[in-house]
Structure 1
Amino acid sequence: MEPLFMTPVFHHKIWGGSKLQSQFGFKIPDDQTGEAWIISGHSHGPTAVANGRFKGQTLAELWQTHKELFNNEAGAVFPLLIKILDAKTDLSIQVHPDDAYAAEHEHELGKTECWYILQADPGAKLYYGHQATTRDELKTMIEAQDWSHLLRQIPVKAGEFYYVPSGTIHALGQGILALETQQSSDSTYRVYDFDRLDKKTGQKRALHLKQAIDVTRVPHVDPVLDIATTSEPGLTKTHLLSSPYFDVEKWRCTGSTTQRRQADYQLFTVIDGNGTLTVDGHDYPLEKGASFVIPYDVDQLALTGSMVLITSWPNQTQAK
């Protein structure tokens, strides 16, 4: 019985920066590193186990060959993907498909996601939702590039949480560092990319206007979040989201606490501070940026220290 610590996989992005190194100590490949995939079974960047008997094996491999670690869960792929994103400049305005559209057109899961804002520069903003009232109006405004009337912009600060269901037009804005919990999918339809040129190709990145118009929810409706906080000795839990695909919580550890695993398996990332994880009598040091999976054969875990973690687990009705 042991936790599965993950080795992150990094992705160069036109909008990326260097905060994944300066804020988390990651050894990034260049100063345009936009994404650290920190717990992933996706084929575009599966993370490998860094410790124990499965060291060197990827999460994707374990999902196929050791299903007992996940209570023999069904499903072709590990269902969740956890990232940290560094938006040195604005991401493209984009939208993701739901499961049905993605299965038909992309042959993978849809992409519902959420963001916990780790850091935001003064004046930082999100692009979130749109102002169109009908699909025809949406199409007209996109084709006219009437972004000032179409797009909603929202000021953002550290500690905020946003739920981004599939079909939501969105983008992280310049100066935001965020932890993203999402379905394990890499299907993104770009609506607008600020006419930027890729330094490597000298060309504008492709847009996907037909697909974007097909999948965008019209009209946009902000989801209602039921955020609730509970406290016990050594630990404060803030339940951020219950979605059809995953639950997300923030844990603030201020001493020592012992907890039961909350689902068949549970994902954790330390976003601040440091401490110790104890499983089956063995201690594992935790530092900012550490990410691990508590598998099915681990019934309980102990945390000691002063730290904040984001944890998530698959929605059980979807996972089975």
Structure 2
Amino acid sequence: MEPLFLKPVFHEKIWGGDQLHTVFGFELPNDKIGEDWAISGHPHGVSIVENGPFKGKSVAELWEHNRELFGDQPGKVFPLLIKILDAEDDLSVQVHPDDAYGLKHEGELGKTECWYIIDAKPGAEIIYGHNAKTRDELAAMIKDGQWDDLLRRVPVKKGDFFFVPSGTIHAIGKGIMILETQQSSDTTYRVYDYDRKDDAGNTRELHIEQSIEVTTVPARTPELEISEIRKGDSAITTYLETEFFNVYQWDVSGELNVEKTGLYTLATVIRGYGNLIVAGKTYELKPGTSFILPAAITSWELEGDLSLIASTPGESKK
């Protein structure tokens, strides 16, 4: 069994830039690309396999017809979506529903996500949470535009990590590049978009009532239990283990042997160059390379000088 290397899917955004080209070397259609959907089975941007016996197949097709690649995990849709985001400008202030609300009102999963800060310019910050004590207060502050009083701003730097459960009001600020691990959902409720207009002079749709309904009140800031295991000069960092996904960082300096910890494994190179070795076969890795290690692959070796963000599906508590 071979790893499945995936072709990136790019999305133009009003807040996007060109760093997916300058940092990762991707050939972009224009200089307003905000998102690389690196590993996706979502119909708004499904990944295509670039190598091996499944070359040309989409992740969605493999989920439908070759479920053994994913350890026969149950579910109607491939559950995870991995993105790299380049925020040349501020993203809208937004919130995502949970599964129950998303399935009832949007026909798809809700969205819990997390962010690894690949890079951040000096002074960069995110919006992460709010200050309303009750839902009525939240509604009043939103409708009155009391953004400075309502929104919590948090300075960020390269290497930071944030867990963003559904119901969290949030926004990525300008000058930040992140790798996002999330549920496979494209449902976003915009709370505020700075009254900006697109090239046609139109403002983007807001979703005030839905936002008020799905926001967690009062806001909760998750406590992270980040741990690191050193292996020689290399290391494995565990950021999260949740019912939705488990997220890790593999920092390779020389070599690193990794054992499977979930049904299957997703990984994206965020820095450096090296090789992935599976069953004696070597695959070249460079910034932006994304791949899936199917269920049958139980161990692998990494060599070089590079860092990857990896994830496995969580174990549902439902």
With structure 2 as the length reference, what TM-score do the two structures score?
Answer: 0.98
CA deviation profile, 1:265-288 (whole Å, cap 9, x unmatched) = 000111111111111221100001
Deviation of 1:297 after TM superposition, in Å, equals 1.5
Partner of 2:243: 244
For each residue in 1:28-62, what CA deviation from the matched residue of structure 2 results, as whole angstroms up to 9, or x when unmatched?
11111000000000000001001111111111110
Matching residue of 2:280? 281
| Shift, 1:235, TM fit | 2.6
Query: How is 1:44-123 mapped onto 2 (pairs within 5 angstroms)?
Result: 44-123=44-123
Please show how residues 18-29 of structure 1 align to structure 2 within 5 Å: 18-29=18-29
Aligned structure 1 segments of 4 or more residues deviating by more than 2 angstroms: none
The SS at the match of 2:316 is: helix
Matches of 2:121 and 2:204, distance apart in 1: 26
Q: Which residue of 2 aligns with 1:146?
A: 146
Contact 1:111/1:165, CA 8 A, preserved across alignment: yes
Q: Give per-residue Cα distances to partners, 1:168-204, cap 9 Å, x unaligned.
A: 00000010000000000000000000011111x3210
Following the alignment from structure 1 to structure 2, what is the Cα–Cα distance between the partners of residues 53 and 316?
29
TM-score (norm 1): 0.98
The C-alpha deviation readout for 1:203-233, integer Å capped at 9, x for no partner, is 1000000000000000001100000111113
How many angstroms apart in 2 are the aligned matches of 1:189 and 1:44? 17
Partners of 1:29 and 1:82 lie apart in 2 by 20
Which one is further off, 255-264 or 279-288? Answer: 255-264
Structure 1 equivalent of residue 184 of structure 2:
184
CA distance in 2, matches of 1:316, 1:206: 35
Instruction: Say whether residues 1:202 and 2:201 are aligned partners.
Output: yes
For 2:293 and 2:315, locate their aligned partners in 1 and report how far apart those are by CA, in whole Å.
16
**What RMSD in Å do the two structures reach over aligned CA positions?**
1.0
Distance 1:141 1:60 in 2: 41
Quick check: 2:273–2:306 contact (8 Å CA) kept in 1?
A: yes
Once the two structures are aligned, what percentage of the paired residues are identical?
A: 54
**Aligned residue number for residue 170 of structure 1:** 170
Structure 2, unaligned runs of 5 or more: none
What is the distance in 2 between the residues matched to 1:282 and 1:15?
40
Shift of 1:244: 2.0
What are the superposed Cα offsets for residues 111-163 of structure 1, whole Å, 9 maximum, x if unpaired? 00000000101110101100000000000000001101001111110000000
Question: Shift of residue 260 of structure 1?
Answer: 1.8
SS at match of 1:316: coil
